[in-house]
Amino acid sequence: MTEKLRTIIVEDEELARNLMKSFLADNEAIELIAECENGFEGVKQINDLKPDLVFLDIQMPKITGFELLELLEHKPQIIFATAYDQYALKAFDYNAADYLLKPYSKDRLDEAIQKVLERIQTEGKESDVAEKVSDFPKDEYLDRVVVKDRHKIHIAPVDAVRYIESMDDYVMIYTTEGRWMKQKTMKYFENALNPKNFVRIHRSYIVKVDEIEEIQQYEKESYIVILHDKTKLKVSKTGYKNLKGVLNF
């Protein structure tokens, strides 16, 4: 091993950071370049420093480890470290290299690092973490939306989302606080938003049910919805059926 893995720890608890640092101290594969106390700092440091490996806690102030992943422009290898075992499957979906359950031993940590080294050898340094995630876990819905807009991170509760428009590889999220672009598919949001509150009315639109003021027929078999702020959105045939289902008319 000639080149060390440039590593960042994102962990809100000081004691947990200390433990990880001391475990990593004599591991020759690791070069620790930064420690972050919260998710915001994590996003900034990872995008700026472009590390090879990130140790990531899941439950943190401001944004969770999963939300952090969605805001990364640089995709390093990820090893999750958390006391919660219920996120293991989700972490696997996000293509994380490993999942450490606290409290973990030094041997277990070394094993995880070994996995990362093997992965890098076969796949190269850049990982595809969080890129393949288009399916949102079933029976679970988003409760907030996190978007990075140049150097600012916006967090909005799902209730603030008015509608979502597809734009090629991106979606535009219109909220009560402004509109933000995010690299996600419509399919993802269709699964991630509670179908009681959000309805897919068109290939290009998902609308919050409460935002709809009226549904108008403008040709023989086509409809548009008019939102409270007079925005008009096209409704497809399937979309009309979906609306019927949600609104019971």
Partner 1 sequence: MDFRHPFIKTPRLAITYIAFWLVLAAVLVLVVVSVGETDFLTALTDRFANVILFGFLGVAIWYVIKFSTLEDNSIGRVILAHVIAATIIVLIWLYIGTVIAKLIDPSQLEEENNYLFTGLYNGYLLYTFNVAFFYAVNYYLAFKEKTKNETKLKALVKEAELHALKSQINPHFLFNSLNSISSLTMTDPGKAQEMVINLSQLMRYSLKHDQSEKVTVQQEIDNNKLYLKIEKVRFGKKLNPVFAVEESCLKAEIPNMILQPLYENAIKYGVYEATETIDVITHCTCDNDKLVVTISNTYDKDVLSKKGEGIGLRNIRDRLQVIYGNPHLLKIQDNQNEFTVTLTIPQNL
- Smallest gap from Cβ 200 to partner 1, in A, equals 24
Question: Is residue 84 at the binding interface for partner 1, with CB under 8 A as the rule?
Answer: yes
Q: Compare residues 157 and 245 and give the one whose CB is closer to partner 1.
A: 157
CB of 89 to partner 1, least distance (A): 17
Measure the CA–CA gap between 113 and 99, rounded to whole angstroms: 11
| Nearest-approach distance from CB 157 to partner 1, in angstroms | 4
Segment lying near partner 1 (by CB under 8 A), choices 10-18, 130-138, 205-213, 234-242 = 10-18
Decide if residue 38 touches partner 1 (CB under 8 A). Answer: yes
Q: Dihedral sign, CA of 167, 173, 179, 183?
A: negative
Position among 5, 16, 43, 72 found at the interface with partner 1 (CB under 8 A):
16
Distances (CA, A) of 31 to 46, 95, 238: 14, 23, 54
CA-CA-CA-CA dihedral for 7, 40, 151, 146, to nearest 10? 120
Q: Does 18 bind partner 1 (CB under 8 A)?
A: yes
Binding mask 101-120 for partner 1 (x = CB under 8 A): xxxx----------------
Angle between helices 14-25 and 106-123 (to 10 degrees): 70
Does residue 157 interact with partner 1 by CB under 8 A? yes
Q: Which is nearer to partner 1, 144 or 234 (CB)?
A: 144
Task: Choose one: 2-10, 96-104, 120-128, 221-229; the region binding partner 1 (CB under 8 A).
Answer: 96-104
Q: Contact positions toward partner 1, by CB under 8 A?
A: 13-16, 18-19, 22, 37-38, 59, 61-62, 83-84, 101-104, 143-144, 155-157
